[in-house]
Amino acid sequence: MKKLIFIIIFGSLHIFGFAQWNTDRILTIGRNALYFEDYVLSIQYFNQVIKIKPYMAEPYMYRAMAKIQLGDDKGAELDATESIERNPFVPQAYYIRGFARRNLKLYDEAVKDFSKAYEFSPDNMNLLLNRMDANMRLENYKDAMTDLDTYMRLNPKSNLYYEKGFIQLATKDTLAAEISFNEYIKRDSTSSNGWSARALLHMQKNETEKAYNDYSQAIKYNSKFSGDYINRGILNVQRKNFRQALSDYDNAIKLDKKGDLAYYNRALLRANLGDNNNALSDLNMVLTLDSANYDALYRRAMLNNTLRLYRNAIADFNKIIGKYPYFIPAYWGIAEAQDGLGNSKESFRYRQQAYEIEKNKDNIKKKAQIAGDNKIAANAPKSAASRKTEIFNRFVNQDIDDSQSDTKYQDGRRGNIQNIYTDVVNEKNFVLSYYSKPDEIRRTNLYEPIVEDYNKRKVLSTVLKITNNELALTSELVNQHFDEINNISKRIAADNANADLYFYRALEFALVQDFNSSIEDLNKALSIRSDFVLAYFCRANIRYKYIEYKRSTLQDNNEVLLEKSTEKSKRLADETQAKFDAEMIMRDYDKVIGLAPDFSFAYFNKANVLCTQSDFKTAITNYNKAIESDPDFAEAYFNRGLTYLFIGEDSKGLNDLSKAGELGIYKSYNLLQRFSDK
């Protein structure tokens, strides 16, 4: 009865009426939601703890983490500050605030926060990398190099030569930078970053052949930096490989549709090749992206004259004259356009103005210098973007990719897809849910007769699906599911021997990341109906999620705190419990397979668990079973391929990755390329 009262109150979160409830458990559930990327949901839980116990530091800190994931860096900074005010001795709070401040470009403050966190947690090497990054953005290269050298001394196997090279490049030590980039490439020849960085260095030194080869290597290894394609495109133009240059510019635009430089360079090439209409289209796009790009405006005006779009040309030239009233070529351009329109008098007038400016340019220049202005230009005026290209002869500089130094609060969460390469990680377990992200490319059969039969019974309020691509809940859906928990609890009170109702509520608890309550309800459902296949499958999945969450929590704590004897005892107890839980998971999957031998997703999930236990041979046997049940099981081919590669059976692994790619897991091709070259 006590539990039932909690569920009813808890089911109506918007009432906020449960101050007597155990806030530790609410905080834990919020952390569950945070770990599994339900950021909106996690914030609701942390809100409740704050409302009940506003003096606690932890809920503010975790809410700040969730806000960072949702892009609310200012809100994260404020929450982290609240956490620090309540407990100024928690390094994670400074860590999070520093990260948020770095995102807000408050680099001085970020450095102070990372330094404070490092005082409390000198074993946390991520803090050094974050502080190094903030110092680089402040151009404090000496301090940045100190942090980097400290990190590399303490972690000799680390491959941070890419970052080291960029610091050296920033301090104009090109010789040292090239040595660092060479070392980076030597250690990781499949990373596009090293090739790209060294290519830029060669380009700055006018070593065009070396630059071309390095850019080609970067692109071979699936570079996602548009500048690599732009720069190779420029080199291809120099080599008169115009078709390849166009292809490079096309690929640069696919990667960065808002990058005006790729459109600009493509426009120049198209115009030179006589493709004037498409060149005009590209210049239109450049000016849409940067209306102050007067270089592009001037070239568009000239192209409009070429295409006999005289009124458009006049409009463009007049915009230039409005900004640069003594820019002589604009007057000649308008004169040409007026001739095209048959306005000989207007044409003559603009030519006269051009002559007058030319004749008096020395006086105009003197007056401009006295006024502190310079409105004489021999060539087309430059925008900020075109001035940047001029510095590097129209090739693109490369910034250090942010993902190289982001902490776990950004990169470690799997919801953030910012990696240049495909991660070499297994496809996730399949679960039962109401929500999934559709993927029309993959051919994996998500139809399962047992699930279909259960849906036909209409026990649940909506259709149950099998997916390994779950959706995070919106705030509206969160409230709906809490209300549904409330409604189901009332039904259970009236019919407490109904296995379907417990299963139903377990699904709802799982959606709001309350794993303990979900498992309790599944235990009850199975005690009532011992052959409930879907309940066994769900219980195994939720137990696995819970283990994953607890493992991550243990790692997080060990990252920032020195382990005390009591903490060691707790860690050992947690590890023992995890082994027991893993055994329970395997029993549940075996029970599903015993009751439903063709349930392919049970074999797949079981294989994934076996991989985490390093039992790769048995895992492959289970992937085989999954594929026997569904010959188009793309995820099973992908995971089996990675497993084969891990145990050294490369030929089988590559064949499986090829099949997975054929079936729609496109990232297989990136891995195929990388592993084939080894």
Give tens-digit pLDDT for 575-587.
566 677 788 999 9
Q: Does pLDDT of 264 surpass 90?
A: yes
Residue 387's alpha-carbon distances to 254, 354, 391, in angstroms, are 24, 26, 6
With a pLDDT cut of 90, the percent of the chain lying above it is: 57
Distance CA 234, CA 228 (A): 10
Q: Does pLDDT of 311 surpass 50?
A: yes
Asked whether 383 and 296 are in contact (CB, 8 A), the reply is yes
> Where is pLDDT greater, at 323 or 421?
323
Residue 469: pLDDT band with limits 50, 70, 90: confident
Distance CA 236, CA 536 (A): 60
Which residue, 130, 66, 67, is CA-closest to 94?
A: 130
- The Cα angle at residue 333 between residues 327 and 335, in degrees rounded to 5: 110
Residue 369: pLDDT band with limits 50, 70, 90: low
Residues counted in the chain: 678
Residue 477: pLDDT band with limits 50, 70, 90: confident
Beta bridge partners of 404: none
What domains lie within the chain, and their CATH numbers?
Answer: 23-137 (1.25.40.10), 260-397 (1.25.40.10), 439-676 (1.25.40.10)
Residue 136: pLDDT band with limits 50, 70, 90: very high
- Tell me the per-residue pLDDT of 140-150, one tens digit each, with 9 for 90 and over: 999 999 999 99
pLDDT the model gives residue 466: 93
Residue 555: pLDDT band with limits 50, 70, 90: low
> Where is pLDDT greater, at 460 or 437?
460
> Where is pLDDT greater, at 370 or 617?
617
Distance CA 331, CA 343 (A): 14
Q: What is the DSSP string of 421-452?
A: S----PPPPPEEES-----SS-------HHHH
Q: Give the chain's mean pLDDT.
A: 83
Q: Quick check: helix, strand or coil at residue 466?
A: strand
pLDDT the model gives residue 444: 77
Residue 540's alpha-carbon distances to 430, 536, 588, 613, 627, in angstroms, are 11, 6, 6, 16, 21
Q: Does pLDDT of 352 surpass 70?
A: yes
421 exposure class (CB count in 10 Å sphere: 0-12, 13-18, 19+): middle
Q: Does pLDDT of 634 surpass 70?
A: yes
User: The whole model's pTM is what?
Assistant: 0.62
Q: Quick check: helix, strand or coil at residue 399?
A: coil
353: how many CB neighbours lie within 10 A of its CB?
A: 19
Q: Residues of 439-448 as b/e, b for ≥16 C-beta within 10 angstroms?
A: eeebebebeb
Which helix (H) or strand (E) segment holds residue 407: the answer is none
Question: In this structure, what token pair is assigned to residue 124?
Answer: 């946390």
| Arithmetic mean of pLDDT, 532-547 | 93
Q: Does pLDDT of 102 surpass 80?
A: yes
433: amino acid identity, one letter: S
Asked whether 114 and 130 are in contact (CB, 8 A), the reply is yes
- Tell me the per-residue pLDDT of 487-533, one tens digit each, with 9 for 90 and over: 999 999 999 999 999 999 999 999 988 999 999 999 999 999 999 99
pLDDT the model gives residue 268: 93
Question: In this structure, what token pair is assigned to residue 278?
Answer: 């498409």
pLDDT the model gives residue 564: 46
pLDDT the model gives residue 33: 87
- Tell me the per-residue pLDDT of 387-410, one tens digit each, with 9 for 90 and over: 333 322 234 444 433 333 333 333
Q: Does pLDDT of 110 surpass 90?
A: yes
pLDDT the model gives residue 259: 87
Cα-based torsion angle of the residue sequence 631, 635, 636, 638 in order, rounded to the nearest 10 degrees: 110
